[in-house]
Amino acid sequence: MAFTLNSRASAVRRMALFGALALGLQGLAATAFAQGAAWPNKPVSLMVGFPPGGQTDFAARVVANSLGTTLGQGIVIENKGGVNGNIASVEIMRAAPDGYRLLVGNGSMTVTPHVFPKLGIADPQKFTPIGVLLQSPLVLVVPASSPVKTFAQFVELVKSKAKDGKGIDYATPGAGSLVHVATELLRDRLGGPVMNHVPYKGSAPAVVDVMAGRIDAMFDATSVFAPYIKSGQVRPILVTSAKRVETLPDVPTSAEAGVKDFEIISFIGLYGPPGLPADVVKKANAAINVAMKDPAVVKGIKDRADEPGGGTPEQLDTLTRSQYKLWGDVVKANNIHSE
């Protein structure tokens, strides 16, 4: 077959066109790669599903400066409370997986779906795990004005009020929270006496009423109560760790107090939306681990009787899934329902 000048010119033009198209596609791919590699190139928001003052909010704020320094961008804390953190969880579940909106989630994420099975609560196992920020046991406190000085006296109070048909009032950061289910588990361990649940929208407002003596008792993470224990506004009577807390050496563990199978750990983790790119996860996780070596961050966490986190995304994933199963079994076994 003979090639004419025109056909040869057409072929050259086609080859040039294809070459330009190929170069253009390569350029687009390179640009897309560069954009991904450049994360973050603007401030990153950490969504907290509770009001300021609680453990989850503290976890976000204690690492924010270090994360920002490592990542080279500002860190913005967004507090959006409601439905025990689920409003924030759902928002991040639906967020674009670009790394600019992340969730600071707590252990209640693994409880709430079991307590409210019909409300469309976000499944924590579907988030992209990034890393653990901190962990801590729960501590049971009573108001400083309470006559209760020990856990044994607390049990006496619970049973005497239950006998009168009234029951004590206990506060939680919200219905279906880790604290709620933990307190109900304690009630079960004590034989099921009447105890009145008073849910709040976060730990901070609940703590105010405990200090004021309007609530008889409350469980929460050690970091939530540490400042008020130190100031003498609340009295700690029990911790749920396997061993005594270093900053609360006179407070017995649940095992020491005679409460069997009651070792409970609260945790805070950083999560992304489903489908968060692996390179973003890697960078964010590395920043968390840098923060956990920062003396100021470590001191801030330990001063509140918490333990620094860190580790791999896989470790947070394992923790989330194991706690989800554990609390699902507890909710079912103790017939705990939404109110």
The larger pLDDT score, comparing residue 292 to residue 120, is at 292
Cα 116 to its chain centre, rounded Å, is: 18
Q: What pTM was computed for the model?
A: 0.76
SS3 content of the chain, % helix, strand, coil (to 5): 45, 20, 35
Is residue 198 within 8 Å of residue 173, measured between CB atoms? no
pLDDT at residue 28 in the model: 39
Give, to the nearest 10 degrees, the angle between helix 313-333 and helix 178-189.
Answer: 50
Calculate mean pLDDT across residues 262-286: 96
Question: Range with the lowest mean pLDDT among 34-38, 142-146, 260-264?
Answer: 34-38
pLDDT at residue 232 in the model: 98
Give, to the nearest 10 degrees, the angle between helix 222-230 and helix 55-71.
Answer: 110
**CB contact set of 25 (below 8 Å; sequence gap of 6+):** none
Q: How far apart, in whole angstroms, are the C-alpha atoms of residue 227 and residue 247?
A: 11
Calculate mean pLDDT across residues 246-253: 94
Residue with tokens 């961008």: 73
Q: What is the CA radius of gyration of the chain?
A: 26
Asked if the model's pLDDT at residue 183 lies above 80, the reply is: yes
Calculate mean pLDDT across residues 42-47: 98
Calculate mean pLDDT across residues 283-299: 97
The larger pLDDT score, comparing residue 283 to residue 85, is at 283
- For residue 185, which amino acid is it? L
Give 292-302 pLDDT, tens digit per residue.
999 999 999 99
Residue with tokens 């580790």: 311
Is residue 326 within 8 Å of residue 318, measured between CB atoms? no
Asked if the model's pLDDT at residue 156 lies above 80, the reply is: yes
Asked if the model's pLDDT at residue 136 lies above 60, the reply is: yes
